Amino acid sequence: MKIQFCGAASGVTGSCHLITTEKHKILLDCGQFQGGKAMEAMNFEPFPFNPAEIDYLILSHAHIDHCGRIPLLIKRGFKGDIYCTDATADLVEVMLKDSGYIHEKEAEWKNRKAERAGKPFVEPLYTYNDALDALKYLKPVLYDQLIELNEEMKIVFNDAGHILGSAITELWIEEQGNVSKIVYSGDLGVMDRPILRNPTIIKKADYVIMETTYGNRLHPQNSTSIDELIKIVLKTIQRGGTVVIPSFAVGRTQELIYQFNRFYQDNSEYKRQLENLMVYVDSPMATTATEVFKRNAQVFDEETKAYILKGDNPLDFKNLKFTRSTEDSIFLNMDRHPKVIISASGMCEAGRIRHHLKHNLWNPKSSIVFVGYQAEGTLGRLLVDGIKDVTLFGEDIHVNAEIHDLEGFSGHADRNGLLSWLAGFRERPSELFLVHGETEAKHDFAKTIKDELGYDATVVEGVAEYVLENHKIVNREEALREAVSRDSLVNIKKRISDIHYDLEKILYNTQLAVDDGVSPERIAEINNIVLELEKMSLNLGSAVTKEDKSEPCCARAL
């Protein structure tokens, strides 16, 4: 069995991991690369595998960096089943249709420029119709439902607590009578957050593939970020400005609606001050996604269900307005009344948020509030890092607005959350692969694991392939360069033993050696050689012993 990491191995986007067995090939996620132009260009490169050979795609959740290249995978030959939770299937429809529409419009815009410049036309990554076609391959299932993919493979989805429908995947694979269990974390959520349940603790695995987005960072308490948000809002409206919140359409937007609902509905000190303040969700996709949330209340946490049972809709309040039309979106920037605008995309790379930034970044009365992860190379990351001049729609904008980064709203577990989830395994996995994180975060988290839990992790960098044999890991490239068969190890050990024996005969009869003309200096040198050979023999003997005593995989109890 082999694992090949084909995305989210050098950053936090493009999640895609291939598992190959004797009979089957399974893909874990097929996400889009997001960031600057170089990252976006990676989406058009060929897959490092033949899509037509993939039997199944296991989808962890509906964020575009995990599902965004599924229509392309199908265009290039994939005809298998795509398994995901039922809530994920609902959201994937929203995400992929929107993504296909955006790719089409971007290609049209580029081709208009290319035509005027006499340059060749470009093709969209995929179209709206390609996205529609991809939906036919979805096989929605429930959390905790055992799915038999075939005679050798079974999966179970567990709640990951990241977004609606997000899943931790347990995958059992049988080969040559042995059963191995792989656990894929997907993206792990934060404990005790509104709407969603906590990430499921998994007790046993042979191999773990784990995200490390915030592997070296701690979030502020969510309550602290909520208090900070309301203070920013109050301060901004008092000076007559607009609060612009770039937010991911799925996940963060719904949590923000939930929190504003609490401000408006509860008898809080803020209720009177916010009474006339409008909150706009200016994203057709976020609007539709919120409707999907309302249809999937069965997977909400107990607190949110309790609000619903009391007759309160936690995803609505009287001052909330969803805008769908372009005209309504344009009006928001013409209206000078203080307001809150929540708009996608969360990293400011596309969508209506860029128009709202154009109309507010220059204004010292306004505030821009980031509530999610900002990947390297994105406009959001540049603004968080303090850039003072940007270009939007061909216009140079000087940044005068206040910029805030409230990490407490992040949907990803921080370092301690990741470590807590990993510590839930009753037995140490044979191997832990760290992915979906920037290089420093992955290496720092690997050190934290070593310090806190006492075992090593493999930090995956770039497209890499590993061979898994009887719960041991072999890096494929190293194996090809350094492969030594078991018989070779045994023969080398025997030769060393023979040489060792001959040298000892000389050393044990030093006088005979001297009589034969061997100098004392030479004898001392030979003695040092013997010591080195002893070390080599012990090491090689250990390697052979490991080969002899390697335990076979055993079936894992469900």
326: left (phi over 0), alpha (psi -120 to 50) or beta: alpha
245 beta partners: 342
Above 70 in pLDDT, residue 431?
yes
Tokens standing for residue 372: 């999610």
Placement of tokens 């004797």 in the chain? 22
Q: What token pair was written down for 242?
A: 């607009």
pLDDT (tens digit per residue) in 272-292? 778 889 999 998 888 888 889
User: What average pLDDT does the segment 518-524 reach?
Assistant: 68
Compute φ and ψ for 98, nearest 5 degrees: -65, -45
Q: Which of 275, 285, 272, 346 lies closest to 317 in space, CA to CA?
A: 275
Tell me, what's the pLDDT at 195?
87
Whether 557 is covered by a domain: the verdict is no
Same domain, 21 and 134: yes
pLDDT of residue 86: 95
pLDDT band, very low/low/confident/very high, at 541 (cuts 50, 70, 90): very low
Q: Evaluate whether residue 177 is within a structural domain.
A: yes
> How far from chain centre, in Å, is Cα 271?
37
Q: Is 173 helix (H, G, I), strand (E, B) or coil?
A: strand
For residue 368, which of 227, 236, 234, 256 has the smallest C-alpha distance? 236
Do 338 and 463 belong to one domain?
Answer: no
- What are residue 155's phi and psi, to 5 degrees? -135, 155
Pairwise CA distance, residues 419 & 422, whole Å: 5
44 assigned to some structural domain: yes
Tokens 């347990």 -> residue: 170
CA dihedral 144, 147, 151, 153 (to 10 degrees): -60
Among 81, 60, 79, smallest CA distance to 150 is for 81
Helix pair angle (326-334, 353-360), 10° resolution: 10
Q: Are 116 and 163 found together in one domain? A: yes
Do 125 and 193 fall into the same domain? yes
pLDDT band at 304 (very low <50, low <70, confident <90, very high): confident
3-state DSSP call for residue 440?
A: helix
- 18 with 150, same domain: the answer is yes
Task: Examine the fold and report which residue of 435, 456, 481 is the final residue of a domain before the chain moves on.
Answer: 481
Q: Which pTM does this prediction carry?
A: 0.77
β partners of residue 541: none
Average pLDDT for 440-455: 96
Nearest Cα neighbor of 110 from 99, 130, 124, 98 is 124
Is residue 184 situated within a structural domain? yes
pLDDT in tens, 526-539: 766 666 665 555 55
pLDDT tier at 518, thresholds 50, 70, 90: low
Mean pLDDT value across residues 111-140: 95
Query: Is the pLDDT assigned to residue 132 strictly greater than 90?
Result: yes
Q: How confident is the model at residue 515 (pLDDT cuts 50, 70, 90)?
A: low
Whole-number Å distance between alpha carbons of 223 and 409? 9
Sign of CA dihedral 518, 524, 526, 527: positive
Instruction: Tally the domains of the chain.
Output: 3
**DSSP H or E stretch at residue 144:** none
Residues 6+ apart with CB under 8 A from 400: 361, 362, 363, 364
Does residue 554 form part of some domain? no
Two structure tokens written together for 107: 């290609």
Residue 35's pLDDT band, with cuts at 50, 70 and 90, is confident
Tell me the torsion sign for CA atoms 475, 58, 204, 165: positive
User: Which of 262, 405, 256, 406 lies closest to 343, judged by CA?
Assistant: 256
Question: Three-state SS string across 527-538, please?
Answer: HHHHHHHHHHHH
- Predicted pLDDT of residue 122: 92
Is the per-residue pLDDT at 140 higher than 70?
A: yes
Our CA angle for 406, 262, 364, nearest 5°, is: 40
pLDDT at residue 76, as a whole number? 96
Question: Do 177 and 67 reside in the same domain of the chain?
Answer: yes
Q: Is residue 556 situated within a structural domain?
A: no
In terms of average pLDDT, the best of 212-216, 345-349, 547-551 is 212-216
Residues 437 and 326 grouped into a single domain: no
Q: Where does the pLDDT of residue 22 fall: very low under 50, low under 70, confident under 90, or very high at 90 and above?
A: very high
Which H, E and C letters describe 54-98, residue by residue?
A: CCEEECCCCCHHHHCCHHHHHHCCCCCEEEEEHHHHHHHHHHHHH
Would residue 555 count as lying in a domain?
A: no
- pLDDT of 547 > 60? The answer is no
**Tokens 């398994």 -> residue:** 83
Q: Which whole-number Å values give the CA distances from 189 to 65, 86, 299, 345, 374, in the listed order?
A: 16, 18, 14, 20, 17
CATH number, domain containing residue 317? 3.40.50.10890
Beta bridge partners of 182: 171, 207
Chain center to CA of 183: 14
Is it the case that residue 404 has pLDDT exceeding 80? yes
Domain boundary among 481, 509, 539: 481
Residue 543 has pLDDT above 80, yes or no: no
Domain boundary among 481, 505, 539: 481
Residue owning tokens 């609490």? 262
Band of the pLDDT at 313, cuts 50, 70, 90? confident
Are 207 and 278 in the same domain?
A: no
Same domain, yes or no: 77 and 95: yes
Do 364 and 507 belong together in one domain?
no
- For 323, the token pair is 């805008």
Q: Taking residues 252-271, what's their average pLDDT?
A: 80
> 319 in the Ramachandran plot: left (φ > 0), alpha (ψ -120 to 50) or beta?
alpha
- Answer yes or no: are the C-beta atoms of 134 and 74 closer than 8 Å: yes
What strands, in cross-sheet order, belong to the sheet with 167-175? 147-150, 153-159, 167-175, 178-184, 207-211, 431-435, 458-459
CATH of the domain at 200: 3.60.15.10
- Paired tokens of 519: 């100098």
153 and 169 fall within a common domain: yes
DSSP secondary structure string for all residues of 380-422:
HHHHHTT--EEEETTEEEE--SEEEE-GGG-SS--HHHHHHHH
- Same domain (yes/no): 181, 309: no
Residue 400 pLDDT class (50, 70, 90 cuts):
very high
Taking CA atoms, 95 is separated from 196, 402, 410, 421, in Å, by: 19, 31, 20, 28
The DSSP output letter for 170 is: E
CA angle 398, 404, 408 (to 5 degrees): 155
Report in angstroms the alpha-carbon separations of 222 from 191, 229, 251, 403: 10, 10, 15, 19
Q: What residues make up the domain containing 493?
A: 484-549
Q: What is the pLDDT of residue 164?
A: 93
- DSSP assignment letter at 124: -
Residue 118 located in a structural domain: yes
Taking residues 492-505, report their average pLDDT: 58
Phi-psi sector, 345: left (phi>0), alpha (psi -120 to 50), beta: beta
